[in-house]
Homo-oligomer: A and B are copies of this chain.
Amino acid sequence: MSAEIICVGTEMLLGDILNSNAQYLAQQLAQLGIPHYYQTVVGDNPARLKEVIEIAASRVQILIFTGGLGPTPDDLTCETIADFFGVPLIERADIVEDITEKFAQRGRVMSANNRKQALIPQGAEILPNPTGTAPGIIWQPRPGLTIFTFPGVPSEMYRMWKETAVPFLKSQGWGQEIIYSRSLRFWGIGESALAEKVAPYFNLTNPTVAPYAGKGEVRLRVSAKATDAATAEALITPIEKQLIEIAGLDYYGADDDTLASVVGNLLRSAGETLSVAESCTGGGLGQMLTEISGSSDYFWGGVISYDNSVKVGLLGVNPEDLEKFGAVSATVAEQMAIGVKNRLSTTWGLSITGIAGPTGGTQAKPVGLVYVGLAGPDNEVISFEHRLGTIRGRSVIRYVSANAALDNLRRQMLKSF
């Protein structure tokens, strides 16, 4: 029993988009232990799509389609599949109603085009799409062959996969042996340095341990194969504990944790509050903190002091120090931090000033030089210098700067406890 992934869309043949859906589905199938040996990409062309269906249906039992469920005339996946199996499309009143309601929520009227999305092959089940207008289908056009369709929009597909497709697959007895993984996250240590520290663990077979490098962070993926989550958990937990012990403060969280969420939890449990003053990140630190629902419990806001006049006017940075040390300096970072803490009356004030590039660097202050200022509960102020290098580009420098600031605060809070 195996599956095949078929991605439909001329935009992939033109190279306009990266086929991240295939990677997502591949990972998901691997986790469920459902083998798949082929992935095919084909354009929005009924004749070629039929040819692909014919080949795939002759060699696998599960066909997973993404793309081509939209409202425009070139979205042909569903009708082409129905046509291939000689089954008529039926307009489903419940889908029309669902789409109408989704448009109404945004104060808009469903256009005639969207009505097309309510047509599904006779006998197919609806695979509901909670976040978009195009539903998918789950369909057995003949014994021993099951078809799933998903829209091409990744976020819509992910939810549909998790909420409906996975439970359906399991109900059919597929995916009984699962691969269960935990991703441990580290900040402040490089991939090779961490790999050296935990090298013996890379030889384990169940669970396995593998390193991945991300933007500024390193992850260790611990994966166990088992028939149920509890058994997998029992395999992973002791190894996880040992890895965390070895890494010390460089370990900050697991799975969906971010430095912002970890810092947020520390603040919430301490009953403390935070404000930020941002120069080179221009709001990115606040954005990261507030990406978390409920962050208003501890994050009060801040000042984006992009122009020096704002550093002086709203944060109380000393103009003479600005002149003397420059905007990118430990002194100014510290004054920004204490300034925002005092004006917003928070427990902590965290600031960032740096050179994000690509221009503005000098010999003494190169692109990637960033100062983080931190004002604490007793108005003590400290600063941290980061040299992030010139080669990673503006966007990554800004992202890493904001996380480096959060990491500075995290370590400081863990020290204070």
Q: A residues near B, CB below 8 A?
A: 10-20, 22-30, 36-43, 45, 48, 52, 55, 70-74, 102, 105-108, 111-114, 130-132, 153, 155, 179, 181, 190-193, 195-196, 202, 210-213, 221, 223, 276, 278, 280-291, 293-296, 299-307, 309-310, 313-314, 343-345, 356-359, 368, 387-396, 398
Of B17, B37, B302, B395, the residue contacting A42 (CB under 8 A) is B37
Return chain B residues, CB-CB under 8 Å to A70: 191, 213
Return chain B residues, CB-CB under 8 Å to A302: 283, 303-304
Assess whether B300 is in contact with A306, with CB atoms less than 8 Å apart.
yes
**Prevailing SS type, chain A contact patch:** mixed
Of B108, B309, B390, the residue contacting A105 (CB under 8 A) is B390
- Give the docked Cα–Cα distance between A48 and B38 (Å): 9
Of B41, B389, B391, the residue contacting A22 (CB under 8 A) is B41
Of B11, B112, B278, the residue contacting A283 (CB under 8 A) is B278
Question: Shortest Cβ distance from A295 into chain B, in angstroms?
Answer: 8
Return chain B residues, CB-CB under 8 Å to A388: 106
12 more CB-based (< 8 A) A-B contacts, given A71-B191, A106-B389, A281-B287? A14-B30, A15-B28, A17-B23, A18-B23, A37-B48, A107-B387, A131-B393, A155-B393, A282-B301, A283-B302, A284-B290, A290-B398
* A296 and chain B: residue at smallest CB distance: B306
Of B24, B48, B102, the residue contacting A391 (CB under 8 A) is B102
* A279 and chain B: residue at smallest CB distance: B301
* A40 and chain B: residue at smallest CB distance: B40
Return chain B residues, CB-CB under 8 Å to A391: 102, 105, 130-132
> A398 and B291 in contact (CB under 8 A), knowing A105-B387, A344-B313?
yes
Assess whether B10 is in contact with A210, with CB atoms less than 8 Å apart.
yes
* A117 and chain B: residue at smallest CB distance: B192
Assess whether B281 is in contact with A304, with CB atoms less than 8 Å apart.
no
Of B179, B291, B389, the residue contacting A395 (CB under 8 A) is B291
- Give the docked Cα–Cα distance between A251 and B108 (Å): 19
Of B40, B52, B113, the residue contacting A196 (CB under 8 A) is B113
